[in-house]
Amino acid sequence: MLTSPATVPTAAEQVARRTRRRVLACLLALAALAAVVVASLVLGVRDVSLPVVWQALTDPVAGDVDHQVIAGQRVPRALVGIAAGLALGVAGAVIQGVTRNPIADPGLLGLNSGASFAVVCAVWLLGLTAPSQFVWFAFLGAAAAAALVFSIGSGQPVKLALVGATVTALITPLITLVLLRDQQAFNLYRFWAVGSLTGRGTETLLVVLPFIAVGAVLAAGLAHRLNMLALGDDIARGLGQRVGVTRAVAGLTIVLLAGAATSLAGPIALVGLAVPHAARRLVGTDYRWVLLMSALLGPVMLLGADVIGRLVLPHSELEAGVVAAALGAPVLVAVARGRKIAGV
């Protein structure tokens, strides 16, 4: 008996299948985010059961120690992790898209060092002590570093990475010099610079949340432009895009997101590098989906690192920035060794 040949799927069917896979990937990422949020509320030096967590959120009892831990420490910590992780993930995706550089992230392009130097100078010269006061100087430092790197790098991927590394190398000794001269700056900076979600209350979060929201909206508006820019500057111009305007808006977006995340949680490294690569593996190279997936995976990685840091040391904690760097380092090594990374 003759069998009919396999039906070749039409273009519409292929698009529908691809869309279903992407939606499924986003739903799984959302479920992973929910899981790490629950873990962040339950696990720690003092474990709290799920029923107690639910009661602390819905009907807190005054004077209950577990309820105080949940409401006063872990809920703000989880919210900070979600906001900072989202900002770092989306900022990394925008940076890699606009530079077409697979190793670009806020840290490697010098934005973190610029924000750190501004914070150190603010503590040293102005005597600031509250994290909510650091935000404005972190933005200023990140903006200055971004302007310097992008103006010298001229949008060339390799050149941007070299300029970013040079800016970091120039700024780091200046930070050290200030810290050696001022003990108060050193005491505050060593806690902030390691990258942590602890000690950041809702007051600081409310200060930076509008900037993260604006940055996320700008990033969403850039998605189609980043898709065209991935084809090359000449093709993007031929399709009617004003490349200079796109890079300017992307620069503003990066400053808002990276500056907010750095001021909120400290200069956490490699989240902005690893998350966009994972997003492209899951949803392909369309930046409409890459940005959405990065917004989900960024909090998953940062909160996951925070939870791991609570569990690896008995009766103590390892800062989220240290764990996140350890998780992101293999991605950087893979890129540096020249392995194929989709979409870059």
Q: Are 263 and 327 in contact (CB under 8 A)?
A: no
On the question of pLDDT at 30 being above 70, the answer is yes
On the question of pLDDT at 155 being above 70, the answer is no
Measured distance CA(223)–CA(230) in Å, rounded: 11
pLDDT for 87 equals 94
More confident residue, 33 or 208: 33
On the question of pLDDT at 17 being above 90, the answer is no
pLDDT for 127 equals 76
More confident residue, 289 or 12: 289
Domain ranges in the chain are 35-336
On the question of pLDDT at 5 being above 70, the answer is no
pTM for the model: 0.87
pLDDT for 299 equals 95
Any idea of the CA torsion for 153, 156, 161, 165, to the nearest 10 degrees? Answer: -20
Close Cβ partners of 327 (under 8 Å, ≥ 6 residues apart):
270, 274, 301, 304, 305
More confident residue, 99 or 89: 89
Highest mean pLDDT among 147-161, 179-193, 228-242: 228-242
On the question of pLDDT at 182 being above 80, the answer is no
pLDDT for 7 equals 62
Q: Confidence band (pLDDT; 50, 70, 90) for 240?
A: confident
Cα 281 versus chain centre, distance? 17
pLDDT for 93 equals 93
pLDDT for 298 equals 94
On the question of pLDDT at 114 being above 50, the answer is yes
pLDDT for 275 equals 92
- Where is average pLDDT lowest: 31-35, 131-135, 219-223, 326-330? 131-135
pLDDT for 139 equals 80
Q: Confidence band (pLDDT; 50, 70, 90) for 343?
A: very low
Q: Are 323 and 194 in contact (CB under 8 A)?
A: no
Q: Dump pLDDT digits (tens) for 250-293.
A: 888 988 898 888 888 888 888 888 899 889 989 988 899 999 99
The residue type found at 275 is V
pLDDT for 16 equals 82
On the question of pLDDT at 321 being above 70, the answer is yes
More confident residue, 68 or 200: 68
Outline where the chain has alpha helix (H).
11-42, 50-58, 65-69, 75-99, 111-126, 131-153, 157-181, 183-193, 202-229, 233-238, 243-265, 271-283, 287-312, 320-336
Q: Which single residue is written with the structure tokens 């508006």?
A: 221
- Where is average pLDDT lowest: 96-100, 122-126, 185-189, 278-282? 185-189
On the question of pLDDT at 61 being above 60, the answer is yes
Half-sphere exposure (Cβ direction) of 277: Cα atoms closer than 13 Å: 22
Q: Indicate the DSSP class of residue 70.
A: I
Task: Considering the domain delimited by 35-336, tell me its CATH architecture.
Answer: Orthogonal Bundle (1.10)
- Where is average pLDDT lowest: 15-19, 44-48, 287-291? 44-48
The average confidence (pLDDT) of the chain is: 83
